[in-house]
Structure 1
Amino acid sequence: MTPGQGIISDIKRRWPSYAADWLDAFRDKSTMVRCASTTIWIATTTFIPALALGLSMQSQSSRRMTHVDFLLSEALSNVAWTLIGGQSLLILRVTGPTKTFLTILTYWADALPVDFVRFSSLVNIYAGIMVMLFATFNGAELALAINRFTSENLALFISVTFVFAGFDAMATMKAKIGDDDAKFLKYFILHLGTVILAFKILEFRKSASVRKTVRLIVADFAPLMAVTAITGLSYAFPNVAVDRVNAAAEHLPRWPTAVDLALSAQHCALALVPALMFAVQIILETNICAMLVARPENKLRKGTAFNWDMFLIGGFTVATACFGLPPSVPALPHSHLHAKLLGNSVESKRHGIIRSRVHGATETRVTNFAAHVITFIVVVCFRSTFGHIPIASLSGFLVYMGLASLGSNQLVRRLPGGFGSIVPTKFLRRVPKRIIYAYTAVQLLVFGAIFACRMSASRAPAFAATYPAILALSVPFSFIALPRMLGSYFAHVLTTSAEEENIVGLFY
């Protein structure tokens, strides 16, 4: 296929459905209600995690990149995406791995030394151009080789990243508070309270004894309910001070400004190294997310746009970098769940577990557009509305996101100790337990190498930046080495079988 042919084919495939992408949301009353509910869900389940990750990055970068940058990047990127993107159901976010890579770049910048914002912006511009070139040469079709082996490792890395970020925020706060034990105790109570309350809400949402309508309402407002309740609790014992978002927002500019990219030739050349690694990460996240949205059980009918979407993600990465904003890429699990929420589904109960089957889908741009217009308005005009949230609650929410997704990650659920009940039945029927043990052990070794690489950031930032390469190498490894280790048939079953339990985990 000639360069650019894949992009052209994607545009031709999706363009005839562009008007329907907007009008289908208003097809009938039930569709409009479903779209309104989904809009609320997107607005609440993206705003609070972005705020939490942004505050964590703000602390680690010494306010050189802030929570406002995270929120504006997501709002502006998604509004632009709904206007010109291919697959309308993808939701762009500053993901956990993106924040992890930006953290590594802070160590790079300090070690060189060079201004972090200038250096990270240049790295992002290079990475965005590389992603655009990859898509131009129809690379997204090659990335369709990504299978369950790599997807589950990425999901586990995202989960552990969230947990690590939450506890790292607590350690940073402890160092800041010092010997004020009462203040730290209150911080810890609010932090732990958010985790516990969020899990209680999650249990309520999954209860088979609760009406579907009530569960949907709880699902839409779950993050907001947890953080709002803990915010109210934070006003107890007013004689003990609480650090809130308002304090972190002091003296922050309302609008981002263009970044002065004046760097030495040596630094410009050196930025190509982490840029290549970051481009690999963006490509993997984008393709895995796009493939999960396009899974047959979601009943989508308007077609895919893998190359066009990847080209746009590269372009958006360049555009946000020019203003010092972090890049937003297709996110797990929001994009996958977006498709499910807009589906016409029928629920059934079996052995006390609620299952749903999608019979049709509403593929619309309206939900994502409306949700992020709301986010943009709140960030620009009503910052005080979320300024009272305690930072402890947001760090706790990061821990909750990670732990909640660990529980539904099939890699974790295949660990020894409960194969008969937690491993998908198809695996037990077709693959011996010893093979499943061996497969899971290999996956954990690969994950260990990825996470160990990331944890070396403060001591060896150049080495830490190579973790996306290890994740990418797991793709050919699963095709070449696994069949020789486990047998071709078993390796094929384990790396390709898709289960309804959602291989990326359920964060909220």
Structure 2
Amino acid sequence: MGVECNQASSVLFLLLMLGTVWLGVSIFNFKKTPFLSAGKREILADYALPIAVVTMSFVGSFFFREVKAEPFRYDDSENVFTVTPLGRLPGLAIAGAMGLGFALSLLILMDQNISSAVDRHTIGSWPFVMAILTAALSAVGLPWMHALVPHSPLHARALADVEERVHQGHVYQIIVRVRETRLTVLFSHILIGLSIMLLPYPMAYISPAVLNGLFLYVAVTGLGGNQMFERISLFFTEQSAYPPNHYIRRVPQRKIHQFTGCQLAQLMLMCLFGFVPWPYMKMIFPVILLSLLPIRHLIVPRVVEDRFLKALDSSEH
């Protein structure tokens, strides 16, 4: 059961959520300051999120302990990881589950492909391995394991050495080296498993407001270098101050805005189905996401010419 809605709880929720985002982003951007050494600034930036979560959890649990806030919810029953009794399902339920499972598999496959493309890796036979893992983990109620946006690109970024270069008055971040290792993934998942031992305390001190701030932090820090976000900002930027990107040099301004408008319309469509309060509409979100492919290849080229689309789709700088 949730906490009864009142003004103090609502204000505290906003304070903890936005405070987590602000503190995390501020520490993350500390690497752009001249303080400390480059190595120490990089360490602070890498640990910005846990520092923000721990700090705001302490603020909410200690300084505002008199305010009734929504508690950390978890299942404390003993049969959490029992094998699902699939034999009890009727045929109609199995057919419905197959449809929902197919839609979910599309979402997982797209997540895996996008993450692999961002990290410059080939997926090879991973779809087959993912299918086996997902089926086995689903049967016992364990979380799925696959590459995920934005976590996988952020993980690769944490293993990278980044340099800032200035070109025509604009600062660009260039990745010069990425450390290839599987130990970080192994240790992180071991720690995720060990986190069960932290229930109910101290995990109960982390309020849902802080967790919402965590996801907002991931979204905000993921905007850097995102071409769509850069093109949206061009709507409010004076033309003489446009960055010297490759697509700005090759594509007319009107076509850039038209392409961005098409993407914003598709984004609003995804938000409509992703944030709608009805669960059954959320279940078809992967199908809506897949439907963007024919929109991109059949409808968008009627608005923006192919030669301009190639420049906009290019990953050059």
User: For residue 163 of structure 2, what is the aligned residue in structure 1?
Assistant: 347
**Which structure's residues are more often helix, by fraction?**
1
Q: Does 1:485 align with 2:303?
A: yes
**Residue of structure 1 aligned with 2:179, choices 348, 354, 362:** 362
Q: Does 1:231 align with 2:57?
A: yes
Distance 1:369 1:407, change over 3 A: closer
Matches within 5 A, 1:73-92: none
User: For residue 390 of structure 1, what is the aligned residue in structure 2?
Assistant: 207
> 1:237-283: CA deviations, max 9, x gaps?
543344443xx347344861111122111111122222222121111
User: For residue 237 of structure 2, what is the aligned residue in structure 1?
Assistant: 418
How far apart, CA to CA, are the structure 1 residues paired with 2:183 and 2:220? 31
Deviation at 1:317, TM superposition (A): 1.0
Distance 1:487 1:368, change over 3 A: same
User: For residue 249 of structure 2, what is the aligned residue in structure 1?
Assistant: 429
User: For residue 83 of structure 2, what is the aligned residue in structure 1?
Assistant: 258
How far apart, CA to CA, are the structure 1 residues paired with 2:75 and 2:178? 44
Q: Does 1:468 align with 2:251?
A: no
Q: Does 1:193 align with 2:53?
A: no
Distance 1:413 1:419, change over 3 A: farther
User: Secondary structure of 1:486's partner?
Assistant: coil
Give unmatched runs, 5+ long, in structure 2: none
* Aligned partner letter, 2:300: L
User: For residue 188 of structure 2, what is the aligned residue in structure 1?
Assistant: 371
**Native 8 Å contact 1:206 1:354 kept in 2:** no
How far apart, CA to CA, are the structure 2 residues paired with 1:217 and 1:397? 18
Deviation at 1:214, TM superposition (A): 1.6
Q: What RMSD, in angstroms, separates the aligned Cα atoms of the two structures?
A: 2.9
Deviation at 1:410, TM superposition (A): 2.2
**Native 8 Å contact 2:16 2:209 kept in 1:** yes
User: Secondary structure of 2:163's partner?
Assistant: strand
Q: Does 1:442 align with 2:271?
A: no
Deviation at 1:429, TM superposition (A): 0.6
* Aligned partner letter, 2:237: G
How far apart, CA to CA, are the structure 2 residues paired with 1:353 and 1:477? 34
How far apart, CA to CA, are the structure 1 residues paired with 2:84 and 2:194? 24
**Native 8 Å contact 1:427 1:494 kept in 2:** yes
Matches within 5 A, 1:113-192: 176-179=3-6, 181-192=7-18
User: Secondary structure of 2:134's partner?
Assistant: helix
User: For residue 128 of structure 2, what is the aligned residue in structure 1?
Assistant: 311
User: Secondary structure of 2:307's partner?
Assistant: helix
Give unmatched runs, 5+ long, in structure 1: 1-61, 63-172, 296-303, 501-508
> 1:420-450: CA deviations, max 9, x gaps?
4466611111000011011111111222222
Q: What is the TM-score with the length of structure 2 in the denominator?
A: 0.84
Distance 1:216 1:404, change over 3 A: closer
* Aligned partner letter, 2:258: A
Which deviates more from structure 2 when the two are superposed, residues 385-394 or residues 221-230? 385-394
> 1:113-137: CA deviations, max 9, x gaps?
xxxxxxxxxxxxxxxxxxxxxxxxx
User: For residue 291 of structure 1, what is the aligned residue in structure 2?
Assistant: 117
**Native 8 Å contact 1:277 1:469 kept in 2:** yes
User: Secondary structure of 1:307's partner?
Assistant: coil
Distance 1:424 1:466, change over 3 A: farther
> 1:441-498: CA deviations, max 9, x gaps?
111122222222334451x82x543332232232343334333432221111112x11
